[in-house]
Amino acid sequence: MNPETTLAPLSSATAKKQVLAQIKLAKDHGATVVYGDETIDHPGNFVMPTVLTDITKDNPIYNQEIFGPVASIYQVDSEEAAIELANDSSYGLGSTVFSKDVVHAKEVAEKIELA
């Protein structure tokens, strides 16, 4: 309830354990942690915001949702590869297109399949 709070805890100890297990699974299969994945010395079910990269298609985390403060960042070489990556998911919650060109962003978004 503190208005200074910028990151809330997860809903339960089980949720925290699951998110930490998913981060470990990603790392065990070659993902790189570029930020986070440190213990927070605070009571409660807090998980440090974590950024993962280098998640290959054979990494089990590639097609899992992580319900915690974890960002998975993928680098691609072209717009077509980005659309292919976006469409290679069992989930549709992460379909967002960012661009300064709104018309082009809408054209790209129309190519992304809804789950």
Cα gap 17→92, rounded to integer Å:
24
DSSP state of 17: H
Q: Give the side-chain half-sphere CA count within 13 A for 13.
A: 2
pLDDT tens digits for the chain (115 residues)?
A: 778 888 889 999 999 999 999 999 999 999 999 999 999 888 899 999 999 999 999 999 999 999 999 999 999 999 999 999 989 887 766 678 889 999 999 999 999 887 6
Task: Give me the pLDDT at residue 94, please.
Answer: 62
Task: Give me the pLDDT at residue 78, please.
Answer: 96
Cα gap 108→24, rounded to integer Å:
33
Give the pairing type, strands 50-53 and 32-35.
antiparallel
Tokens found for residue 83: 């659309």
Task: Give me the pLDDT at residue 7, please.
Answer: 87
CB 97 within 8 A of CB 105: yes
Task: Give me the pLDDT at residue 93, please.
Answer: 62
Task: Give me the pLDDT at residue 115, please.
Answer: 63
Task: Give me the pLDDT at residue 91, please.
Answer: 74
Sequence-ordered list of residues with C-beta below 8 angstroms from that of 110, at least 6 positions apart, any chain: none
pTM score, whole prediction: 0.86
